């Protein structure tokens, strides 16, 4: 066994990382969101924000071959393209903040964003505005900035799509497509800022397969008519991850 892989296995709390990766994959596969909201608070508490963002980006690669192909058939490709183009604007700002902001403060930020998103989702907030080009550009840029800084690529997009009037199947598919492709953009953005560390990549070899199994299982379980149940389970997992990962512990 390579020494680097052995070191990854010896990381304190690696078991919690694997549990969080499995839960994140299950949520992402059946609900179309929640992976980063579940995984990032736990990972940031165990290995630090920079390594956690790297792991989240690598998990996005697994989503490309697990849940993305099916999602692309139902997603709104035009809107997804606009969102991705705008996210490229926000990513450099986000990864720069990840580089310069104190890790402890970043952990609080990750937990705070996850908690606020969860509260908004549970409250059932809904908007009445249409998905205009300007709105899509704003959501994409904000998602890129937040994702680069915290690894949480989803909160802005999730609130935007789930508060709209789209069908459950289309919302789920479009969210998966955008978040998966945005996660892929994180890796080069981290590399440009000098934040891509070999140790985190070895740890990803442990985390990514577990996440992939969860994503495939969640996708197999998804039934549009049971969307309410899936959302409640995802909300519960997100809340548990936030509570367990507060920097006060």
Global pTM value = 0.82
d(CA 1, CA 40): 28
pLDDT per residue as tens digits for the range 54-106: 999 999 888 888 889 988 988 889 989 999 999 999 999 999 999 898 888 88
Give the per-residue pLDDT at 25: 92
Q: Domain residues of the chain, as ranges?
A: 3-245
User: How many helices, marked H, and strands, marked E, lie in the chain?
Assistant: 12, 0
d(CA 182, CA 216): 20
Give the per-residue pLDDT at 6: 66
Give the per-residue pLDDT at 213: 94
d(CA 61, CA 248): 32
119, pLDDT greater than 70: yes
Which DSSP letter does residue 11 get? S
Which DSSP letter does residue 151 get? S
Q: Token digits for 57? A: 């980006």
DSSP 3-state of 124: coil
Nearest to 151 by CA among 38, 12, 231: 38
Q: What is the mean pLDDT of residues 161-173?
A: 74
Give the per-residue pLDDT at 1: 52
- The DSSP line for 1-19 is --HHHHHHHTSTTHHHHHH
3-state secondary structure string across 152-169: CCCHHHHHHHHCCCCCHH
pLDDT per residue as tens digits for the range 212-248: 999 999 888 877 677 677 677 777 877 877 776 677 6
Percentage of the chain beyond pLDDT 70 is: 88
Which DSSP letter does residue 194 get? T
Radius of gyration of the chain (CA): 17
d(CA 206, CA 49): 18
249, pLDDT greater than 60: no
Q: Token digits for 186? A: 């994180």
Give the per-residue pLDDT at 89: 93
């Amino acid at each position: 066994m390579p020494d680097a892989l052995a070191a990854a296995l010896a990381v304190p709390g690696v078991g919690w990382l694997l549990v969080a990766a499995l839960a994140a994959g299950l949520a992402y596969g059946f609900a179309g969101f929640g992976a980063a909201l579940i995984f990032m608070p736990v990972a940031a508490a165990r290995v630090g924000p920079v390594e956690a963002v790297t792991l989240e980006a690598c998990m996005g690669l697994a989503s490309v071959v697990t849940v993305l192909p099916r999602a692309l058939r139902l997603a709104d490709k035009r809107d997804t393209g606009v969102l991705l183009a705008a996210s490229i604007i926000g990513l450099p700002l986000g990864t720069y903040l990840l580089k310069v902001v104190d890790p402890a403060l970043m952990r609080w930020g990750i937990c705070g964003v996850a908690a606020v998103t969860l509260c908004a989702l549970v409250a059932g907030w809904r908007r009445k505005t249409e998905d205009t080009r300007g709105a899509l550009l704003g959501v994409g840029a904000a998602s890129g900035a937040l994702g680069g800084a915290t690894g949480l690529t989803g909160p802005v997009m999730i609130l935007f799509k789930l508060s709209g009037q789209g069908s459950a199947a289309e919302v789920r598919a479009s969210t998966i497509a955008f978040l998966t492709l945005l996660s892929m953009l994180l890796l080069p953005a981290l590399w440009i800022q000098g934040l891509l560390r070999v140790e985190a990549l070895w740890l990803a070899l442990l985390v990514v397969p577990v996440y992939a199994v969860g994503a495939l299982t969640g996708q197999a379980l998804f039934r549009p008519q049971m969307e309410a149940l899936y959302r409640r389970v995802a909300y519960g997992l997100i809340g548990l991850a936030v509570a367990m990962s507060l920097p006060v512990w």
